[in-house]
């Protein structure tokens, strides 16, 4: 699975890049063969003013053109990345479970969820 990191408005640095890619890769390795890729976006929402404004957004591409998108905010980049990865794992597990259920019913996910 390919993981792309984008830092918006600042230079993420090699340490943050390696942290995000390795943590997400190891967290999602269980579903690696079912996932098409992931994009991690990191930004500072308030600039130099400080506060809980470091935001990490993760978009994971699932089969059948479906996506899991999660966002987390924290006071530092590493905490925001870790919280977003935790949320992404939970959301991916739910989405893969729904995909497996609809596949067994003969439906096509995600359209089967609206039936």
Q: How many domains does the chain have?
A: 1
Q: Which residues pair with 55 in a beta bridge?
A: 43, 73
Residue that wins the pLDDT comparison between 109 and 41: 41
Query: Using omega within 30 degrees of 0 as the cis cutoff, is the peptide bond preceding 93 cis?
Result: no
Tens-digit pLDDT profile for residues 8-60: 888 888 999 999 999 999 999 988 788 989 999 999 887 767 667 899 999 99
Q: Is 112's pLDDT higher than 80?
A: no
Domain that holds residue 62: 2-114
What is the rounded distance in angstroms from the CA atom of residue 36 to the CA atom of residue 95?
14
Position 103 confidence tier, pLDDT thresholds 50, 70, 90 = low
Alpha carbon 106 to its chain centroid, in Å, reads 28
Contact 60, 28 (CB under 8 A): yes
CATH number, position 33: 3.30.160.100
Which of these, 75, 87, 88, 6, lies nearest to 46 by C-alpha position? 75
């Amino acid at each position: 699975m390919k993981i792309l990191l984008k830092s918006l408005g600042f230079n993420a640095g090699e340490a943050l890049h390696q942290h995000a890619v390795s943590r997400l890769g190891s967290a999602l390795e269980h579903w690696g063969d079912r996932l098409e890729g992931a994009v991690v976006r990191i930004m500072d929402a308030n600039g130099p003013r400080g506060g809980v404004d470091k935001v990490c957004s993760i978009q994971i591409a699932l089969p059948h053109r479906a996506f899991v998108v999660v966002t987390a905010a924290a006071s530092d980049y590493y905490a925001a990345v870790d919280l977003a990865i935790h949320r992404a794992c939970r959301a991916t597990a739910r989405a893969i479970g729904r995909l497996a259920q609809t596949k067994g019913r003969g439906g096509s996910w995600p359209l089967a969820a609206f039936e």
